[in-house]
Structure 1
Amino acid sequence: MKILVDADACPKKVLEICIRLGKKYSIPVWTVASFNHNINFENHILVGNAPEETDVKLMNISQPGDIAITQDWGLAAMLLGKYVRCLSPSGQEFLKENIDFLLEERALKAKYRRGGGRTKGPKKRADINDEKFELRLEKLLQKKSP
């Protein structure tokens, strides 16, 4: 088991939580990001800047039982198919039961924006997001630890 972090858009606090909990439970943490991001971490994989290159690398290194941190719903859907648990940086767990709805919602919003409509962006990140994320990640790690 390992914790995989889609570090292209991961908040710094979330990465710190992953590293701290990984050490606590003796679970390796791997980060993957394009060369546009300055991440200094021992288990960091640097990829090019091509579209979806980070996603492809995460798919290639993931294994059943891993935990992935990503806000990319499409990547989460693919990882769920490999039996990888997925959490967003805000602490939302992506499940097979909710991923189809999320992908459909994403497609409808994209269609609306292509037609000239405007949608709201994400809310400003708050401390409660970090607390919720930490609780959810620790709960997943406790399930897997002996």
Structure 2
Amino acid sequence: MQIWVDADACPAVIKDILFRAAERAQVTVTLVANQYLRTPPSRFIKSLQVPSGADVADARIIELAEAGDVVITADIPLAAGVLKKGAFALDPRGGWFSEGTIEERLSMRAMLDQLRGSGVETGGPAPFSPRDGKAFAGELDRMLARHRSGLSAR
């Protein structure tokens, strides 16, 4: 199992949590972005820079992720793509994407995109909070403990 990170929009606090977890659990964490990312020196932490463009990083993560891997992303289409491959998807606020809810989330996203395209102000997500970081860290710790004990990541 390895962890892939949709790093372009990933909060810095989440990256820091992942860096510490990579060392502690000795699990490879790879940040994928269309810009250069500075990472701490570690044999468990890698970065992969992809060309600029819409969804280029997402496509690369979908290509590289394998069954049992974990992808950190808030991007619903990316989560849907990796779930189809048997990988797991965890958003930076600590919520798991699942096969049971991904279609509904894709539909809601499409509806909101359509509303925004017609000029309706739909708002956005709430600002990232310390509570979000704690929720993410808790889910990550549970997932890594399950991995160490030989169970499914989720």
Task: Give the TM-score category using the shorter length.
Answer: over 0.9
| RMSD of Structure 2 on Structure 1 (CA) | 1.0
Structure 1: 5+ residue runs without aligned partners? Answer: none
Instruction: Measure the CA separation in 2 of the matches of 1:102 and 1:33.
Output: 24
Instruction: Measure the CA separation in 2 of the matches of 1:122 and 1:3.
Output: 24
Instruction: Measure the CA separation in 1 of the matches of 2:141 and 2:55.
Output: 28
User: How many aligned positions are there?
Assistant: 144
Q: Corresponding residue for 2:66? A: 63
TM-score by length of 2: 0.90
- The structure showing larger relative contact order (alpha-carbon pairs under 8 Å, at least 6 residues apart) is 1
TM-score by length of 1: 0.94
Q: Corresponding residue for 1:25? A: 25
1:136: Cα distance to partner?
0.7
Q: Corresponding residue for 2:57? A: 54
1:33: Cα distance to partner?
0.3
Matches within 5 A, 1:1-146: 1-35=1-35, 38-41=36-39, 43-146=46-149
Instruction: Measure the CA separation in 1 of the matches of 2:129 and 2:12.
Output: 13
Identity %: 29
Aligned residue for 2:137, secondary structure, equals helix
Letter in 2 for 1:23: E
